[in-house]
Structure 1
Amino acid sequence: MMLALLAIVGALSITGCVSVPKSLHELVSAEGALMTSVLRLGPVMLIRTASVIPGHQNYERDNAQVTQCRGQQLRLTVETPSASVVSPDASCRYLLASVMYAARNLGIAKVDLEIRINLVPQGYFIHRRDRFWVFGGTPRTAYWIPLLDSEGESLANMVSSIAHETTHLLAFTTGMPATIATNERAGHLAGACAELEILGEIKRDRLSLGYFNEKLELSSEITDSSRSGAIVSRDLLPFFDQASVVALGTPAGQRMRAYCHSELSKIIQR
């Protein structure tokens, strides 16, 4: 019975991609890369994630602090290394806000998820694939995210990464059409717009991070995501004019916020 079920599930459509070439860690920026896929048959789901972080040595947990964060039906676990530039409380607060930002854009009032976020110190290499079977219960998953030079850089990366991935995850686990769940423009927009909304600003140099040269021999899913990210960056650049930062409380920030809301709504309403 289980073999038959696996064969059926394997034929279903996928959101995101976890076909990760071994050399990808040599290509990604210090911010790392996350990928999510969901295979679903009725109440049964296989949720798979991939987390890639460049570095020179394997990460071994050392006195990491585990913090439980809760928001409505959302259960978020954050593992913070002892030398973190971001406090566990701040990590919880901003990561919860990132998931809820994605949910609001999708029109989801109640978020029923279990997510584990593992924060990794700089210089450590991560290339992980995690998978979770869900049999009619709460969807659960895990991601590995690098800490950067400063608290501000680390929080910006955490917010954009989780807003992006949970846009895909929530859309698929709540039964939205694949055209929404697999939409990489929606993911990249949610990530950038969440930075503005949650952190109160977005820096111009954040828009050009993490995209790959299309001449590289990478999977079509990774290339598509990279291309979509570049298009989103192009569309958001005019809001900066000559500035290096767009702040939420400025006219440019309010225009960008309205643009984010309008564009994400168009994608969801297709």
Structure 2
Amino acid sequence: VAKRHDAEEKEIMYRKYLREAEELHHDLETNFHQFERQKENMLEQAKERANQIVEETKKKSDELISELRKMKMSAASNIEEGSLIDAQGRVNALHQETNLKKNKVLRKAKQQQELHPNDDVMVNSYGQRGVLLRKAGNHAWEVQLGILKMKIDESDLEKIKVKDTQPKRAGTVLKSSSSSHVSPTLDLRGERYENAMVKVDRYIDAAVLAGYNSVTIIHGKGTGALRTGIINYLKQNKAVKNFEFASPNNGGNGATVVYFK
């Protein structure tokens, strides 16, 4: 009888220990999952904050790069365009990717991306649009960025879908450098000097890629500051063969005709 009583007490004790162990395991598992969620949330918050700082830095760098371009165009600096793009790329590369698990559609689209020569792409680290030329290794492409050719890792490329549009009539004025169609004419009348020079820079690159032999830049007469800035820029652009003012009936010295090499 005593042995049976002792065995029953031990059984009760073991069951108690088992229950406590199960409760402890459950608590540990709950705390672990809670910790994982908190860690993920904290990481996402840190990335968001980091991206805010990067955006602020990028804004300042864009202003600086714009100013450097302005200096370059006025022949006050020998800074090369490639250096400007590279500097901008280093800032953009600081961007932290957020969790794609929260956007399955975006993740799936990114995985299914297929790249081919002549595709329009966005080079994410540089924030620049380019055209694929050819494969440059297992996971890299040679990309035309304006007048520059650069080797870019495939993971840094995002394919741009170009919508079919009706061709514009000859002489249509280009209003946006992001248009998939490049007009033979760029109208800068009414633009501020700094914005106008940035548009000229992008437009010349786009016109070269489009295969134009010549284009016309309408800058107006005004004080002549914009005209002088454009002339200084064209003198230093390696893609430009020569340039001249338009004929009197096409704007005279209020427009400049640019010829490419």
* TM-score, length basis structure 2: 0.31
Of Structure 1 and Structure 2, the greater helix share is in 2
